[in-house]
């Protein structure tokens, strides 16, 4: 029985992430095996989930993965867990543009799993009932099975709200606790590796204030996929892909690693910050925070080596932070730093958000063909030379310039678009690495 529950909020900042992490920690403290998930294209929250649960957290996104892809992902990754906890995104009904697509509600409906709604009740009492009633009536196909009240002022405050709530059980009342928050920066929360909160205390706080048995009783088996993934035995590994993994490059989907291995690639993690230059057949530079470590990157042996490695034909793929790093230079706070110089382009960090949202690009390139779906989120602009070649014509999203994204040179490609493996030709990239190895 794959018992599954989704924890959502009325809006961003309501405490949904803290509650979700706390519920995961509380179940773990009780000896339950917890498989964590995150709705939407989020790289940061899943790192916290994974540390708490001891299992890789996965993303569920109906735009990038499709409804059937979301169902397959949960079915294939639940494993021997006792319960799956899905953390929602933004407000429960907030999806792409004005639609339900990619919202927490859409994922809950797609899987037919119950929702626990987190409501910040600071500064109100009876009005809570109006909010909860609005959420329960808005879409009857979304099963809001319970409510957790956050930032409750006192037991009397909690009781006043319980007395007027509609027919949705209150399964938790959380008093204000400023000590149990996760710090954030411009792209979201701090990474789990920078953890400066007490996971055990968080789990204990939730256990003391939430009916964990009620959550287990509400959780239910999700809808199975209409078409099951045909996942055969992995191809015998005959290539190695180097994945940049350190404080500068840390935004990755677990399913991308799974796909690499499925198509016959070993993964070797390496640190550009430490100057490692791995002996591999291809490289992948994900997003992250290169701007926070820009001086070290400029001095890195990896940085100085990549131009020649790319010119030799090694397949190199970069996303967002990876794009910024693989350009000629990166200007941060008025200082220009030399980068890998694979692409004839300069990146400039900005104070204002330049792009945020889902993306869709069409490519007819040598190996990257068809429609690619993903997400972009960056505080920078990249200015290409006039002869730069761009792979993607954007149907949705901003990209690098003039509605285009995916700059390429030799067998290297980088874009602002973060792609999910269900909407990106992973097999083609691995095959390029295979051809390079044989050359």
CATH placement of domain 239-438: 3.40.50.880
Please state, in angstroms and rounded to a whole number, the distance separating the CA atoms of residues 99 and 427: 32
Domain range summary for the chain, segments of one domain joined by +: 4-218, 239-438
pLDDT digits (tens, 9 = 90+) for 93-142: 999 999 999 999 999 999 999 999 999 999 999 999 999 999 999 999 99
C-alpha to C-alpha distance for 319 and 369, rounded to whole angstroms? 17
Determine the Cα–Cα distance for residues 257 and 43; give it in Å rounded to an integer: 14
Q: Comparing C-alpha atoms, which of 74, 77, 85 is closest to residue 49?
A: 85
Helices (H), 139-223: 155-164, 199-209, 212-218
What local confidence, expressed as pLDDT, does residue 348 receive? 98
Quick: pLDDT tens for 194-230. Answer: 556 688 999 999 999 999 999 999 999 999 888 777 6
How many whole angstroms separate alpha carbon 166 and alpha carbon 159?
A: 14
Helix (H, G, I), strand (E, B) or coil at 316: strand
384 catalytic residue (yes or no)? no
- Tell whether the model's pLDDT for residue 231 goes beyond 80: no
**Out of 53, 250, 320, 327, which one is annotated catalytic?**
320
What is d(CA 110, CA 72) in angstroms, rounded to the nearest whole number? 11
Residue 180 three-state SS:
coil
Report the pLDDT value the prediction gives residue 184, as an integer from 0 to 100: 52
Domain at 4-218, CATH homologous superfamily:
P-loop containing nucleotide triphosphate hydrolases (3.40.50.300)
Mean pLDDT of the chain: 93
Q: Is the pLDDT of residue 185 over 50?
A: no
Residue with tokens 């990239």: 429
- Per CATH, 4-218 and 239-438 having the same topology is answered yes
pLDDT per residue over 1-47, tens digit each? 689 999 999 999 999 999 999 999 999 999 999 999 999 999 999 99
Question: How far apart, in whole angstroms, are the C-alpha atoms of residue 400 and residue 391?
Answer: 11
Q: Give the single-character DSSP code of 238.
A: -
pLDDT at 194: 52
pLDDT of 308-367, one tens digit each? 999 999 999 999 999 999 999 999 999 999 999 999 999 999 999 999 999 999 987 666
Q: How far is CA 279 from CA 178, 239, 275, 309, 413, in A?
A: 47, 11, 13, 11, 20
Angle at 63 between CA 62 and CA 68, to 5 degrees: 40
Where do runs of H (alpha helix) occur along 30-179?
Answer: 45-53, 62-65, 67-77, 104-111, 127-138, 155-164
pLDDT in tens, 382-418: 999 988 999 999 999 999 999 999 999 999 999 999 9
The mean pLDDT of 264-279, rounded to a whole number, is 94
């Amino acid at each position: 029985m794959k018992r599954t529950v989704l924890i959502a909020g009325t809006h961003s900042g309501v405490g949904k992430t803290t509650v979700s992490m706390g519920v995961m920690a509380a179940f773990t403290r009780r000896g339950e095996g917890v498989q964590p998930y995150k709705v939407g294209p989020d790289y940061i929250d899943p790192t916290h989930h994974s540390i708490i649960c001891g299992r890789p957290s996965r993303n569920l996104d109906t735009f990038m993965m499709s409804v059937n892809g979301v169902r397959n992902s949960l079915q294939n990754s639940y494993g021997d867990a006792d319960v799956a906890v899905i953390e929602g995104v933004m407000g429960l009904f907030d999806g792409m543009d004005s639609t339900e697509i990619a919202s927490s509600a859409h994922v809950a409906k797609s899987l037919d799993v119950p929702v626990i709604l987190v409501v910040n009740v600071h500064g109100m009492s009876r009005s809570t009932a109006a909010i909860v009633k609005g959420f329960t009536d808005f879409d009857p196909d979304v099963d809001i099975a319970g409510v957790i009240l956050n930032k409750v002022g006192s037991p009397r405050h909690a009781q006043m709200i319980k007395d007027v709530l509609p027919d949705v059980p209150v399964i938790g009342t959380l008093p204000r606790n400023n000590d149990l928050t996760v710090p954030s920066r411009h792209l979201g929360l701090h990474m789990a590796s920078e953890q400066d909160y007490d996971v055990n205390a968080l789990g204990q706080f939730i256990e003391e204030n939430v009916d964990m048995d009620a959550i287990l009783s509400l959780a239910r088996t999700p809808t199975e996929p209409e078409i099951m993934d045909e996942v055969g035995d992995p191809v015998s590994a005959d290539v190695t892909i180097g994945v940049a993994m350190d404080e500068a490059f840390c935004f990755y989907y677990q399913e991308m690693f799974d796909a690499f291995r499925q198509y016959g690639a070993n993964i070797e993690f390496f640190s550009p910050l430490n100057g490692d230059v791995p002996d591999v057949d291809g490289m992948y530079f994900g997003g992250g925070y290169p701007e926070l470590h820009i001086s070290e990157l400029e001095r890195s042996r990896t940085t100085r080596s990549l131009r020649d490695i790319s010119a030799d034909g090694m397949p190199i793929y970069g996303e967002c932070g990876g794009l910024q790093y693989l350009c000629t230079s990166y200007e941060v706070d008025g200082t220009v730093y030399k980068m890998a110089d694979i692409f004839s382009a300069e990146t400039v960090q900005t104070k204002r958000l330049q792009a945020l949202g889902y993306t869709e690009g069409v490519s007819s390139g040598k190996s990257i063909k068809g429609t690619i779906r993903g997400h972009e989120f960056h505080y920078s602009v990249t200015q290409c030379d006039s002869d730069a070649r761009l792979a993607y014509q954007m149907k949705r999203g901003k990209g690098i310039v003039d509605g285009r994204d995916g700059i390429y040179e030799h067998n290297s490609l980088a874009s602002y678009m973060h792609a999910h493996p269900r909407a990106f030709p992973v097999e083609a990239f691995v095959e390029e690495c295979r051809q390079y190895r044989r050359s």
